Structure 1
Amino acid sequence: MSKRILIVLTSHDDLGGVERTGYYVPEAAHPWQIFTKAGFEVDVASVAGGRPPRDGHDPDDPTQAAFLATGLDDDTARLADVNTAAYDAVLYAGGHGTMWDFPDNPDVARVGREIYERGGVVAAVCHGPAALVGLTLSDGSHLVDGRRVAAFTNSEESARGVADVVPFLLADALTARGARHEPAANWQPQVVADGRLVTGQNPASAGPLAERVVDLLA
């Protein structure tokens, strides 16, 4: 039976009143392509279900165009309705919207906890690791405690011009929960795999992160 992966998207569309936000399309599209080429089944869910807001989309990128043409993000499952028993891995895609609705959402945490504790892979890229801020295991410990991680850096947040707009700085929040954050230079691919936890720093890391997940599931 083929492996099955759930991609989780944000449903939040307001970047602190400054601009619109949502999920960053290439961070779902490029992993989707790599997963499907590897023979895996891919489903997409979002915090609120339905069609999630998009934050950044290049219509000239054939991978993004192919992903959107599938209709996978037209009517996503509501995360609260997801039965994790079907999945071997979860990928939390990024986009600034995640900074608002991932950290404190009980189903964002539940999905990751259940998949991880059943021996599956938990992956997150760019701002997707906002899901890990509130992800505790059944014993109450943070999944990231003592683990090496990558995530969107303070420097990248400043370069993007929204370090004072986001509700917190992601790298700092993960470090506060015991993670060992390993940054690369701005916008350079950086993927860190610590056992079955795989994290990526930025959009350039989405493809390499997906390849690492494929390796772990192979």
Structure 2
Amino acid sequence: MKKKILFVVSSADVIGPKNRRTGNLLTEVAHPYEVFKQQGYDIDVYSVKGGDAPIDMVELDDPTNIVFLNDEGREKFKTTRSIEDVTLDGYDAVFVPGGLAPVVDMPDNPTVQKILGTMYDNGKVVSAVCHGPVSLINVKLKDGSYLVDGKSVTGFSIAEEENYAKEDVPFELEDALKKRGAKYSCVDPWQPYSIRDGRLVTGQNPASATGVAEKVVAILES
């Protein structure tokens, strides 16, 4: 039976006091999508509000990004269903891409928390990259503990945010993860870094998106 991947993505297209334009970062959407597609997995995309999920169109000369924009993946982002309608039965893994968008509508979203917590409690794989791990900050498991507590995780670092969107984000992801008890680590800014702790997979930045997807595949195929 084919494995099924659930993409949970943001519906936000602006962030911060200056209304900086944003969205789900193209590289962090396209690279994992193509890894899962090449593996033969079924992929569904649900967004916070449903409808056209915004994509931050960076690195338009990247070959994988071009492939994604010209196949059914882009169409799925234009016609997402709301996360309020998702049924988790049958999904083997959930993936949350970054971009600044999830910082806006995911950290305090109870449905996002329920999806991620339920997937993990049910023995499934939970994964996120770059700013995507903001979705994990407030997720609690059925035993009342925070999902990231005691787990080795990564995500967009303070050093990276300093020269990217420090004035636009309401908090530092690195600090927020540590506050919840996560064992946070990172490498030099913009270098690929993805880590696995059991069924939890996280990546630091756009360069880490492929690595996250490959680690998810390794878990599902083991």
TM over 0.5: yes
**Could you list the runs of 5+ residues in structure 1 that have no partner in the other structure?**
none
- Name the residue aligned to 2:183: 180
- Contact kept, 8 Å, 1:33 with 1:67, in 2: the verdict is yes
SS of aligned partner of 1:84: coil
Hey, what's the Cα distance between the residues in 1 that align with 2:196 and 2:29?
Answer: 19
1:10-25 to 2 correspondences below 5 Å: 10-18=10-18, 19-25=20-26
Hey, what's the Cα distance between the residues in 1 that align with 2:78 and 2:5?
Answer: 18
- Contact kept, 8 Å, 1:85 with 1:115, in 2: the verdict is no
Question: What amino acid is aligned across from residue 50 of structure 1 in structure 2?
Answer: G
Hey, what's the Cα distance between the residues in 2 that align with 1:134 and 1:100?
Answer: 14
Hey, what's the Cα distance between the residues in 1 that align with 2:6 and 2:31?
Answer: 14
- Name the residue aligned to 2:78: 74
Deviation at 1:199, TM superposition (A): 0.3
- Post-superposition Cα deviations, 1:121-173, rounded to whole Å, max 9, x if no partner, equal 0000000000001111112211000000010000000021x213201100100
Hey, what's the Cα distance between the residues in 2 that align with 1:126 and 1:56?
Answer: 16
- Name the residue aligned to 1:104: 108
- Post-superposition Cα deviations, 1:158-196, rounded to whole Å, max 9, x if no partner, equal 021x21320110010010000010111000011110000
Hey, what's the Cα distance between the residues in 2 that align with 1:63 and 1:164?
Answer: 30
Hey, what's the Cα distance between the residues in 2 that align with 1:187 and 1:46?
Answer: 26
Hey, what's the Cα distance between the residues in 2 that align with 1:178 and 1:217?
Answer: 27
Hey, what's the Cα distance between the residues in 1 that align with 2:57 and 2:144?
Answer: 35
- Post-superposition Cα deviations, 1:43-85, rounded to whole Å, max 9, x if no partner, equal 1111111111222333322322332331111111101111011
SS of aligned partner of 1:216: helix
- Post-superposition Cα deviations, 1:82-102, rounded to whole Å, max 9, x if no partner, equal 101121000010010111111
Question: What amino acid is aligned across from residue 16 of structure 1 in structure 2?
Answer: G
SS of aligned partner of 2:5: strand
User: Are residues 1:149 and 2:150 paired?
Assistant: no
Hey, what's the Cα distance between the residues in 2 that align with 1:56 and 1:179?
Answer: 31
1:31-70 to 2 correspondences below 5 Å: 31-69=32-70, 70=72
Question: What amino acid is aligned across from residue 66 of structure 1 in structure 2?
Answer: V
Hey, what's the Cα distance between the residues in 2 that align with 1:193 and 1:140?
Answer: 22
Off by >6 Å, runs of 4+ in structure 1: none
Q: TM-score, normalised by structure 1?
A: 0.96
Hey, what's the Cα distance between the residues in 2 that align with 1:28 and 1:140?
Answer: 31
User: Are residues 1:190 and 2:193 paired?
Assistant: yes
**Could you list the runs of 5+ residues in structure 2 that have no partner in the other structure?**
none
Q: Give the root-mean-square deviation of aligned CA atoms.
A: 1.1
Question: What amino acid is aligned across from residue 160 of structure 2 in structure 1?
Answer: E
Identity of aligned residues (%): 46
User: Number of matched residues?
Assistant: 217
SS of aligned partner of 1:90: strand
User: Are residues 1:207 and 2:210 paired?
Assistant: yes
Question: What amino acid is aligned across from residue 6 of structure 1 in structure 2?
Answer: L
